[in-house]
Every structure is written in C-alpha cells, then in structure tokens.
A = this chain, B = another copy of it.
Amino acid sequence: MVTNKLKFNKVNLNLIDEYSKRINSEFKDGKIGYFHLPKSDLSNLNELSEFSKKFSEFVVVGMGGSSLGIKAVFGLLENDKKVHFLDNLDICLCEKVLNSINFKKTLFFIISKSGTTIETITIFKFIIDKFSVKDFSKNFIFITDGDSNLEKFGLEHGIKTFNIPKNVGGRFSVLSAAGLVPFTCFGFDVKEILDGANACAREFFIEKNDNILQKAYHYTTHKSAKINVIFSYGSKFEYFNEWYIQLWAESLGKKREYKRLGLTPVALIGSKDQHSFLQLIMDGVKDKTVTFIKVKADTKEKSASNLSFKYLESCDFVNGFNMSEILNLQCDATMQAIINEGISVDSLELECLDEWHIGYLLYYYMLLTSVTGIMLNINTYNQPGVEIGKRLLKTLLIRG
C-alpha cells in the first residue's frame, strides 16, 4: 500500500473538474502510450529469463530516459546483480566499467528511442572496437523505436531487438520494453511492477482518488513556489531522485507561445541532506514545496546499538531503536519543522520497497507530471529546447 497525505488544504472539486476530464480523455484516446503500459502483454519476454542466465554481468548503455528508469528500479530493489550504467560520454567512466568486466559473460543493452542518440551509438562503437567484436548477435540487446535505423542495423545482424512503442516518450518509458527487458534479465518480477502501476492507475482513473489532481493544482496555482522538492528517506532512492528530476524538468519546462513556463525539481536524500539543503528550505525564500517519501520501518531489524560510552551519553537517546525507525522519525521531525514554517508539504509512505510498490511510485510520478502539464497547458511530452544544442554540436565538430 502507498499512502499519500496532503498537508495543505484541498480545493473544491469544481476547480479541478475540467482538468480531471482532460486527463481522463487523454487516458481514453490512446495517444499517450505510457498510461496503458501496465496492461502490457508480457509473453515476448518469456524467453529472456532463460537467455540471460548465460550472463553474470550487465551493461546498460543509454542516455536520459533510456537509463534513468532502469537505474531507479535497480537502485530501489534489494538485489545482488552486477549492473553497470554507461550513461555519459565520458572516457573515464567507459574505461573503468569496460576494463572491469568479462566481455563474454556480459550482456549489453543498447537503448536509444530515436536509434541515433550520438552518445549511445558512439559508446556502442567504442565497445565494438575495444573488444574487437565480430558477432554482434551474442551479447547485445537493442531497445529502440520500431523502424529506427538502430532497429534496421539490429535486424540485419541478428541482434535481439525490442521496441519502445512510438507513443511512449523516453522519460515515460520505464514500464515499456526499455525497462521491462533489462528487469526481466536481472530477475526482477515485472508482473508485480506492472501490477503496482496498475493499482495506481485504478485509484486515479476508476476510484477517483483526487490527491494527484489536488497536488498538481496546488503546484500550478501557488506561483511563488516554483521549485518542487522531493525528500526521499533512504540512500536507495538516489537514482529514483535522478529519474524524477528528468521527468519533471524535461516535461514541464516549456514555452507556450512566447511565455516560458516550468517547475524546477530538486531531489534530496534523507537524513543525509538534512545536513545540506534543508537549511535553505527552512530559512530561505519560500519558493519550494516538499514531498517526503519514506518506507515503513522493518520491525524485524535489530536496534542500531544499545552501547553507551562515557562522554557520548548525549547520543544515547536513540538506543533501542533500529536505524530504519530512527530514519523515519527523522523524516517526521523534519516534516513537522517544515510545516511549522508554513511551507506546502505532502508525504508518500510505502509499505516496503518491492516491485509492486516501486511500480506504483513510478506510475504515480508519471501521472502527476501529466496532470501538472495539463494544468500548465503545455505539451508535456516533447523536448524542443534540446535540439538546438545538438545542431550546434554538429556545426562545431564539422568545423573543428
């Protein structure tokens, strides 16, 4: 179960009714593909678990939405898989990862929606070069749009190739093949991930839980607070935080005609960042909302310590509690302190960190992003602003 508690006032349903209709009609018209991914047919993944058993390590090559969702789930789920991410055109990163692996025992995922992401293809060619690969079909899997040039290349070389549906954008693709194919190979329960996502969809579209609408309405009407902080308690959320930043920033930072719109994501880890960004939230300009994310403490975990040392007695007040309990109480205390400052806060509590809850959380954030985009009256699903830099790069290189 995921419990979302809004610590700010809800508005009258009339105010959000029009938006509710719009998101419901978007859901029905089928143009936005990610909505329906939780109902995907998984039969094409069946053979993968067997195939992937041949490998002891995995390397994911993908930029932005082609790796962030995979990293998020990989980070959140307790697992002992050796997975490396080549998500930057960085020679030190590439050398470090590729020098550490046993090539023959490694399965590579080359993921690019367009099929021609310059960083991804360059790293792919770098790998081919480095290991003098002759037969591409053995340990590469391609995930790309149907009909992309990468798919054509893959088919010609007998490479296992999976498609991201055309109407699913990169940053909304974690529940498509872009996520499910690697998850299956890592041994994660993809059915459970989709079930969790589906539960979130059902609560919103069928049971008409209005929290997401209320939250998006709050974010888009409180014009003084244009920074949306998530404060995730637990180091496992680090990559999830990165995924949220892309989703929020790239979806909501848009021009509408000549007007610039957008909300800025900030993502923190508790309790760690209580020693960092928190001071700015507490005493700085009130331009932020904060969402606290926490996971119920495991009661079976043993207490952190019951030791008491001379001179350090002032730290004994946590004795008898386990680390997860202390972490959650830190979350509660910080939340209360921020509420006391009059800052808009809500909390998301997950029963535990398993596939189901992660699927729910991912869908929750994609849905929140869609609804917020509708309220800002922008195109949530494109990214026109990053094209200019790509064109300039070509000019510089050709001139270079």
Residue numbers of A with Cβ under 8 A of B are 63-65, 68, 78, 87-94, 116, 118-119, 121-122, 125-126, 128-129, 149-150, 152-153, 156, 170, 226-227, 234-236, 242, 245-246, 249-250, 252-255, 260-262, 264-266, 269, 271-272, 274-288, 301, 304-305, 307, 309-312, 314-315, 317-318, 321-327, 329-330, 332-334, 336-337, 340, 383-386, 388-390, 392-398, 400
Residues of B within 8 A of A397 (CB): 317-318, 321, 326, 329
Q: Which of B116, B242, B274 contacts A386 (CB 8 A)?
A: B274
Chain B nearest CB from A170 CB (Å) reads 8
Known contacts A116-B315, A283-B255, A322-B91; is A275 also within 8 Å of B63 by CB? Answer: yes
Complex interface: chain B residues within 8 A of A326 (CB): 89, 118, 122, 397
Q: Known: A121-B312, A312-B121, A330-B89. Is A281-B253 also a contact (CB below 8 A)?
A: yes
Partner of A314, one of B129, B149, B307: B149
Q: In the complex, what residue of chain B is closest to A378 when comparing beta carbons?
A: B283
Could you say which residues of chain B place their CB within 8 Å of the CB of A307? 125, 128-129
Q: Taking the nearest CB of chain B, how far is it from the CB of A45, in angstroms?
A: 26
User: Which residues on the B side are within 8 Å of A250 (C-beta)?
Assistant: 275-280
A275 touches B92 (CB 8 A): no
Q: 20 A-B residue contacts at CB 8 Å?
A: A64-B272, A87-B272, A88-B234, A91-B324, A93-B235, A116-B315, A122-B326, A149-B311, A156-B311, A227-B227, A253-B284, A255-B283, A264-B288, A317-B397, A318-B397, A329-B393, A330-B389, A332-B396, A333-B389, A334-B389
Q: Which residues of B contact A121 (CB under 8 A)?
A: 312, 315
Q: Are B91 and A323 in contact (CB under 8 A)?
A: yes
Are B264 and A246 neighbours in the complex by a CB distance under 8 Å?
Answer: no
* Set of chain B residues within 8 Å of A384, measured between Cβ atoms: 279, 283
User: For the complex, what is the distance from the CA of A159 to the CA of B245, rounded to whole Å?
Assistant: 43
State which of B152, B312, B329 has its C-beta within 8 Å of the C-beta of A116: B312
